[in-house]
Amino acid sequence: MFVANKIIFLIVLLGVCFSWVGCESQEKTSTGMDLGVINPQRDFTLHDQDGKIFHLKDHRGEVILLFFGYTSCPDVCPTTLSKLARVYSLLGMGTRQKLLTLFVTIDPQRDTPQKLKEYLQYFNINAVGLSGTKQEIDKVVDAYKAMYEKVDTNSSALGYMFDHTDYLYLIDKEGKTSYLFHPEDKAQDMAQIIKGL
Amino acid sequence: MKTKNLCCFIFIFFVSFLSYARADGLSKDIFISNAWVQAMPSSQKISAAYMVITNNSPKEAILVSASSDIAATAEIHQMSEMNGMMNMAMAANVHVPAQGKVTLQPGGFHIMLINLKKPLNKGDIIPITLHFQDGSNITVNADVRGQ
């Protein structure tokens, strides 16, 4: 009887240990995905909405939110940018001024610098639209392991659209991607994490 | 003070009524609530409309199309995650179960308003007509929300 109890105790103990290890290997918070220190700096160069060359490495000391989208995007992009407007509103002036949103277009054919500028100004956030040749943009997309695919919609009046990833990359002041925010993450939780950087 | 409160109540009631519509014809038991349209920069010729469709009838209701004076074309679309990416595709219809509801929301079903005839500004009220398979139509006033 005593031996049986001991075996049961050991099984329960092992179960607790395994579940603990399982919890530890998951994300550190309920918001976004903490990428920790495994991510190197992924510098890139593109053209901004004023036609000037934009180097990410020139923005060390600023917190960056990076998003890949396009201005004709009917659902994901405006929803994300509207949420970012709420995130900005939750931050103090100091943090807000040091938070730069980069909107990299995956549709350079339609998204002219002027269009990008007007689009982003509308959302009233500190944002810069970035573009380049398809090859230049693809290089950045690949570096951040994002994805997109052009979809021709013959049956729709929309013309072509894009399937694309909808993450927001949070790049810290040292240029390292420290968090990956998902669409379900709440503005308040995102603001909290940004304040902590 | 009492007059002020009464005015506030009437205003709130009126605004609530604007985004709430009831059907005529066969779909008398279908109710639309919380209808809204994403405000967009004036350069954008597209936007999306969202709402909750509640079906109180004992039969399934099927939304087959939509139209609006504000846009040249209105289409039913659905977002879904596919191969790690968000995919948007035209949907032939939206099934609203008997005694149930369907929410058209960002990341899911929505009505695409394509080739907008005028800019959509926050606070505007946009009429959208929903066409159901049984031939009934519902016109809802959606408010434009955004920055």
Mean pLDDT to the nearest integer, A84-110: 94
Longest alpha-carbon distance in chain B = 59
- Report how far residue A63's alpha carbon sits from residue B139's, in angstroms, rounded to the nearest whole number: 46
- Work out whether strand A177-181 and strand B21-22 pair parallel, antiparallel, or are unpaired: unpaired
As for how many domains chain A has, the answer is 1
Mean pLDDT to the nearest integer, B51-78: 95
pLDDT band at A18 (very low <50, low <70, confident <90, very high): very low
Per residue in A46-86, pLDDT tens?
999 999 999 999 999 999 999 999 998 888 899 999 999 99
Q: A179: burial class by Cβ within 10 Å (0-12, 13-18, 19+)?
A: buried
Of A79, A155, A157, the CB nearest to B115: A157
- Residue A71, min C-alpha distance to chain B (Å): 8
Q: Which of A194, A150, A196 is nearest to A170 (CA)?
A: A194
Residue A103's CB is within 10 A of a number of other CB atoms, namely 27
Of B41, B83, B107, the CB nearest to A183: B107
- Residue A149, min C-alpha distance to chain B (Å): 9
For residue A16, is it within any domain?
A: no
Mean pLDDT check: name the lowest of A17-21, A34-38, B3-7: A17-21
pLDDT, position B83: 80
Residue A71's CB is within 10 A of a number of other CB atoms, namely 24
Given a cut of 70, whether residue B89 has pLDDT beyond it is yes
Instruction: State whether residue B75 sits within 8 Å of chain A by CB.
Output: yes
pLDDT band at B80 (very low <50, low <70, confident <90, very high): confident
Of B46, B47, B90, the CB nearest to A153: B90
- CATH, residue A150: 3.40.30.10
Instruction: State whether residue B83 sits within 8 Å of chain A by CB.
Output: yes
For residue A38, is it within any domain?
A: yes
* DSSP code string of A105-164: ES-TTT--HHHHHHHHHHTTSSEEEEE--HHHHHHHHHHTT--EEEEEETTSTTEEEEEE
- CATH, residue B24: 2.60.40.1890
Work out the percent of chain A whose per-residue pLDDT is above 70.
79
- Residue A3, min C-alpha distance to chain B (Å): 50
3-state secondary structure of B114: strand
For residue A131, is it within any domain?
A: yes
Contact in structure between B14 and B123 (CB atoms under 8 Å): no
- Report how far residue B84's alpha carbon sits from residue A52's, in angstroms, rounded to the nearest whole number: 32
Q: Which domain holds residue B18?
A: 2-145
Work out the percent of chain B whose per-residue pLDDT is above 90.
61
- Report how far residue B80's alpha carbon sits from residue B110's, in angstroms, rounded to the nearest whole number: 12
- Report how far residue A139's alpha carbon sits from residue B11's, in angstroms, rounded to the nearest whole number: 53
Q: Which domain holds residue A176?
A: 31-195
- Report how far residue A165's alpha carbon sits from residue A73's, in angstroms, rounded to the nearest whole number: 12
pLDDT, position A154: 73
Of A85, A161, A165, the CB nearest to B88: A161
Contact in structure between B137 and B24 (CB atoms under 8 Å): yes
For residue A3, is it within any domain?
A: no
Instruction: State whether residue B91 sits within 8 Å of chain A by CB.
Output: no
Mean pLDDT to the nearest integer, B66-70: 96
Q: A121: burial class by Cβ within 10 Å (0-12, 13-18, 19+)?
A: middle
Non-local (6+) Cβ contacts of A165 within 8 A are: A68, A146, A147, A148, B84, B85, B86
Rg for chain A, CA atoms, rounded: 21
pLDDT band at A5 (very low <50, low <70, confident <90, very high): low
pLDDT, position A39: 56
Size of interface A-B (CB pairs under 8 A): 86
| Partner residues linked to B75 by β-bridges | B112
As for how many domains chain B has, the answer is 1
- Report how far residue A113's alpha carbon sits from residue A122's, in angstroms, rounded to the nearest whole number: 14
